[in-house]
Amino acid sequence: SVPLLQAARKRNSLNLLELSEAELEEQFVRGDGPGGQATNKTNNCVVLKHVPSGIVVKCHQTRSLEKNRKIAREILQEKVDLFYKGEDSDVFKEKKASEKQKQEKKRRARENLERKKLFKEMQQLDKE
């Protein structure tokens, strides 16, 4: 089972809950991580909090403040949708579907590997 809030950040979700700007608290802080002066001197990391649910998102994916604000809102919208809808959320359903596809792909790869091993063993027996 997937923790609900970790399933967020999937694209193509159409009917997410809408966020109103009145429910949001936004801060701009210095980012951390690699990047040197570009990171250490600019406040382009966005911390966005949804007050009613208490969910906080921190976004520092780009050097652009505006892009980080947009990305943070998208992530927060998906997390809030998961928080209120739970397993009925489109984000959760997409995450489950992608996990299922990934498991199926692994299963097929394993089967192919076993087939190749058997084929090589058969070739070895034929040579002897």
What share of the chain in percent tops pLDDT 90? 39
- Cβ-based neighbours of 89, under 8 Å, separated by 6 or more: 4, 7, 13, 81, 82
**CATH code for the domain of 74:** 3.30.160.20
Q: What's the number of domains the chain is made of?
A: 2
Residue 31 lies in a domain: yes
Residues 39 and 78 in one domain: yes
Rounded distance between C-alpha atoms, residue 109 and residue 104, angstroms: 9
When pLDDT is cut at 50, 70 and 90, the band that residue 1 belongs to is very low
Domain boundaries, position 39 = 21-86
Residues 105 and 77 in one domain: no
Q: What pLDDT is attached to residue 38?
A: 67
The pLDDT tens digits for 56-82 are 999 998 888 999 999 999 899 888 888
Task: Provide the Cα torsion 97, 93, 13, 15; round to 10°.
Answer: 150
Global pTM?
0.63
